[in-house]
A and B are shown apart, each in its own frame.
Chain A
Amino acid sequence: MRNGINKSTSAFIPDPSVIVLALVVGVVLLYGVVYPNLHVLTASLERDGSWSLSNYVEVLSERAVLEATLSSLWLSVLTVLFCALVGVPLAFLFERYEFPARRIFSILASLPLVLPPLVGTVAFIFLCGESGILARAFQHLFRLREAPWSLRGWTAMLLFHTYTMYPFFYVLAGAGLRRIDASLGEAARSLGASPLRVLFRVVLPQLTPSLLAAALLTFMTSMASFSAPLFFGGSVRVLTLEIFNARQRGDARLALTETVLLAVISLGALVFFQRYEGTRRFVAAAMKGAPRRRQPIRSGAARFAAAACGVLFTTLLALPVVTLLIVSFARTGSWTTQTLPSAYTIDNYARIFTEEDALSVLFNSLEMAGIAALLALVWSLCVASLVSRRRLRGRRIISLLVLVPWALPGTVVAVSIAEAYGQSNPMTGSFILVGTFWILPVIYFLRFMPLVVRSVQASLEQMDPALEEAAAGLGARPFRRFLRVRLPLIWPGALAGTLLAFVIALGEYVASVLVYVPRNRPVSIAIAAEMRDFNLGTAAAYGVLLIALIAVSMTIAARLER
């Protein structure tokens, strides 16, 4: 009775259904997470049929690889720094002060989170690139002969990373500030501490867990970043790009070894941050206090300044999207050296909706993201039911394995699935996914199901366990309890999580670019192709359509969660 499933918890689901559930979850984790990653690891350790580290020795002795690894690390560290510098003060501004239109700005500030990285990259090129709107405006204003800058290299990547990733700090620091009991600060002030001392000795120490979580997310997202280095990395090499290039060249061994390197760094960061977080967790002894009230900004000048900052900030945030909208209506060839396109048309949209090939990519993405999201929904209900059973052996390992694809960069997930399912192998039960339609839905599912599992688990944790016990006491059998009590109560959270996974999968590029086939060409690949062919208007129109779909989905999700 002690090993496996403890019979004494049978009050909720009878053992046979738990065993089936455990079996399904186990098989999916084995084939989706354990096997592909182990396969890549063993393949990278194999040389001419024997085990050796020679692949690593060889790869790491190449200057290019070492350089790429260091660049990736350095880029991520700098990104964390810049994002913190933007996001944390912003969180203080929005959480501590009250000024006109604060609510709208505070919502807008987290928007870059749902912008697909590829679409953001494209919008940035139109806005800040050397032939983008800002550069041309400068050039015309100061009558320069050439573009005043080029969007290349470190500055460009850091600028873009800061723009897309500061919301991690903004959102998490904001949530952390809301949780801090105002009376702690007041107590410190009454003991004679200056406001600055309160900030450094009381507020920031309590904010540390939030800041660490934000730093971790930013670091890992930056390590996994692919679109920005691809489009404006210039001569800077990063690991994700090197893996892509190696695969394009057909150098599987190099790609594999680099993939393991990237995976190890990402997982290492996860372990490092969680260790550190574990030692610095603050448990608010008695959380009965109230969050601090926002201070209204009273003086006229300050109010004006705050509002002006807000407007400026919102404009900065909205500019890339506005640019995308403008370019999507530009007639092909009408935007060369002018600041703004000279002629406008709806041809770009007309083309997408009339040409079968152009429209099919949209449907491909909708279909594949839909399949992946639905699978993730069903899957997360299974996993959450299993993991919520407190006395189940192995629930920690299940939770851990579920999170692994989320912690790994998209490049790593795509490479490991492609390598593990390139040919069928009856010995391991492996089958062919490469070259089929299903490879992308499977990868989308693996990459984004952790999001859904987390939101379902959060909903379950909020649910009073006495509800299901009451239902049992009233004579409802396990299936009835699931259908009539659990499902209705976690439905909003589960659906919101599913929609989030859906919109992120819609614009997925990093993994798609490695393994797509003509049959399942997603919209992100089409955008990149249109950019290459200088069909800027069509690329922008795709981007606008994606953003519109995302906006609709997120509005529905927000409604559901309320």
Chain B
Amino acid sequence: MGFLSLQNISKSYGATRAVADVSLEVEAGEFFGLLGPSGCGKTTTLRMVAGLEAPDDGKIELDGREITRLPADRRGFGMVFQSYALFPHLNVFENVAFGLRARRIEAGEVSRRVTEALSMVSLSGYERRGVDALSGGQQQRVAIARAISIEPHLLLFDEPLSNLDVALREETRTELRELVKRLKLTALYVTHDQEEAFALCDRISVMSEGRILQTGTPRELYEQPEEVRVARFLGRNNLIEAVRLSASHAEASMFRTTTGGHSLRVATQVGANLPLNKPCTLAIRPEHLQLYGKSEYEERAREGEAAENALPASISSVSFSGATTTIRLEAAGLSLEALVLQPDGFEPGASVTVRLPPERIIILK
């Protein structure tokens, strides 16, 4: 049983089911992410945890105590909104002091804790400024200071970085994670940005259409997606429709691709109990494809290296984007995308050999 526990939570608006049967456990001190495209129910889930919406069904527990129907003002959670929701009629000090004053804490203590919270977000000296006079990044930090000032049981973030520009976003997210970890707070973080979620969170639930598809650490999700939607949503993936042919070896099995009819050996264990002759989807990351020029491949073949899963292909396009170059390939009707560091020698129209390493292919549900 985690520190925060959601058990079979559902919420509908009219006929639309915003959240359907969501369960998750967040451990104390964990930075937990809810990741998914817009409209997937992640914000609704967060708002139910905050007490701003009530679930139609299910139970929310904090530290073993049920809080499903507890009003938001009695939960003691700090929340940071996408729009920051700073009170425009109050200055920085009064914004941060708002939650402390609501708790009737005496003036000296209020002032001490506001100063402390502001220094934690490096905004000391900004106490008397109006919130309109601050930049977006500074407003963001005031919102964070306001949320941590009440020493919350749980910090809730609703896409708090999406209004910042890219450079500031990356900087703020590093600071944010350090701050939360230093204060040993538990955080629930909602975002649609996979990179942001990966950088911030210890564990992530990927959501789609009101349901949780998969929960895991960023590496687990990236390297072992369990289903097509997760594989598609997290980074780029080559998805290949295929049929399983045999389970000839204990640790590997053979597949035939639906387009192109290529034979592929897959060496991964997950999904090894898949029935024979049933269509399924294989996935391989573009950066895991190995690409060889004609002469290079013949040389390697002579040396007897790695002939399996090698397909002849032609390059249909090359797009250079700095550190990496994306190369689109056509292998007897099968379209693939490869990511290479060294684009020399790869021109559109050139014939190449592409190899799909058996240990890198994932079988999806």
Measured CB to CB, the residues of A under 8 A from B are 7-8, 10-11, 14, 464, 466-467, 469-478, 480-481, 484-485, 488-489
Contacts and interface: CB of A to CB of B under 8 A. Distances in A.
A470 B71 contact: no
B89 A472 contact: no
A475 B103 contact: yes
B118 to A, nearest CB: 16
B85 A475 contact: no
Given A8-B53, A475-B103, A485-B87, A466 B81 contact: yes
Nearest 6 pairs between A and B by C-beta? Answer: A474-B99, A466-B85, A8-B54, A470-B85, A472-B72, A473-B79
Nearest to A7: B54
Where chain B touches its partner, the secondary structure class is loop
B150 A475 contact: yes
Interface in B257-279: none
Where chain A touches its partner, the secondary structure class is helix
A331 to B, nearest CB: 53
A474 B102 contact: yes
A472 B88 contact: no
Contacts of B52: 11, 469, 472-473
Given A8-B53, A470-B79, 18 more contacts: A10-B54, A11-B52, A11-B72, A466-B81, A469-B72, A469-B81, A470-B81, A470-B85, A470-B146, A471-B98, A472-B51, A472-B52, A473-B77, A474-B98, A475-B150, A476-B102, A477-B73, A488-B89
Contacts of B225: none
26 contacts: A11-B52, A11-B71, A464-B83, A466-B81, A466-B82, A466-B85, A467-B85, A469-B50, A469-B72, A471-B102, A472-B72, A473-B50, A473-B73, A473-B77, A473-B78, A473-B156, A474-B146, A474-B147, A474-B150, A476-B102, A478-B73, A480-B102, A481-B73, A484-B98, A485-B87, A489-B89
Nearest to B89: A488
Contact of A475 (B50, B82, B87, B102): B102
Interface of B: 50-54, 71-79, 81-83, 85, 87-89, 98-99, 102-103, 146-147, 150, 156
B51 A11 contact: yes
B87 A467 contact: yes
Nearest to A480: B102
B80 to A, nearest CB: 9
A469 B81 CA distance: 9
Contacts of A488: 89
A8 B98 CA distance: 25
Nearest to A467: B85
Contacts of B85: 464, 466-467, 469-470
Contacts, number: 80
From A7, A467, A473, A484, name the one whose CB has the most chain B CB atoms within 10 angstroms: A473
A474 B88 CA distance: 16
A120 B98 CA distance: 51
B327 to A, nearest CB: 35
Contacts of A485: 87
A477 B146 CA distance: 17
Contacts of A8: 53-54
B54 A472 contact: no
Contacts of A489: 88-89
A474 to B, nearest CB: 3
Contacts of A469: 50, 52, 72, 79, 81, 85
A14 B102 CA distance: 17
A476 B95 CA distance: 13
Contact of B83 (A466, A474, A484): A466
A485 B101 CA distance: 13
B109 to A, nearest CB: 15
Nearest to B152: A473
Contacts of B87: 467, 470-471, 485
Given A11-B71, A470-B85, A475 B76 contact: yes
A2 B74 CA distance: 25
Contacts of B74: 475
Contact of B73 (A7, A476, A484): A476
Given A8-B53, A489-B88, A473 B72 contact: yes
A389 to B, nearest CB: 13
Contacts of B50: 469, 473
A459 to B, nearest CB: 13
Nearest to A481: B73
Nearest to B50: A473
From B50, B72, B146, name the one whose CB has the most chain A CB atoms within 10 angstroms: B72
A473 B81 CA distance: 11
Contacts of B79: 469-470, 473
From B52, B77, B82, B98, name the one whose CB has the most chain A CB atoms within 10 angstroms: B52
A483 B76 CA distance: 20
Contacts of B75: 473
B83 A475 contact: no
B282 to A, nearest CB: 40
A467 B89 CA distance: 11
Given A11-B51, A469-B52, A475 B73 contact: yes
A489 to B, nearest CB: 6
Contacts of B103: 475
Contacts of A470: 79, 81, 85, 87, 146
Contacts of B156: 473
Nearest to B97: A474
A14 B70 CA distance: 12
Contacts of A472: 51-52, 71-73
Contacts of A467: 85, 87
A15 B73 CA distance: 15
Nearest to B80: A470
Contacts of A471: 73, 87, 98, 102
